[in-house]
Amino acid sequence: MTFQRVATSIPVPSPVMSRDDIPPTWLSLPKKRRDAAAKGLPWYFDPTRPCVHGHFSIRRIDRSSCPACEKRRFMRHPKSRND
């Protein structure tokens, strides 16, 4: 499994992820979006619910999407990039 680093130093997952691959640092994140927003964090992680595409991953508080789905959407629609 490969990871990219983001500004918050939380590993961003590759598109395929299972419950067994969850990094320990994600377990310290808030489990609810509103709790993360209250703490000023850009990410939250609910280990009980995968995203709509089945990824067990961190999610952004502003879009509630996981990075693996964002990457997939970005690669599928390159003209919609904000360069």
Closest to 40 in 3D by CA, of 51, 26, 29: 29
d(CA 68, CA 57): 8
What's the structural domain count of the chain? 1
Has residue 83 been placed in a domain? no
Closest to 15 in 3D by CA, of 51, 44, 49, 43: 51
Give the structural domain span for 46: 4-78
pLDDT tens digits along 21-43: 778 888 889 999 999 999 999 98
> For position 16, what pLDDT does the model report?
45
pLDDT tens digits along 31-79: 999 999 999 999 898 888 888 888 888 888 888 788 888 877 777 776 6
Has residue 53 been placed in a domain? yes
Has residue 50 been placed in a domain? yes
d(CA 33, CA 38): 9
Has residue 8 been placed in a domain? yes
Cβ of 23: how many Cβ atoms within 10 Å? 14
Alpha helices in 1-83 (DSSP H): 33-39, 67-76
pTM over 0.75: no
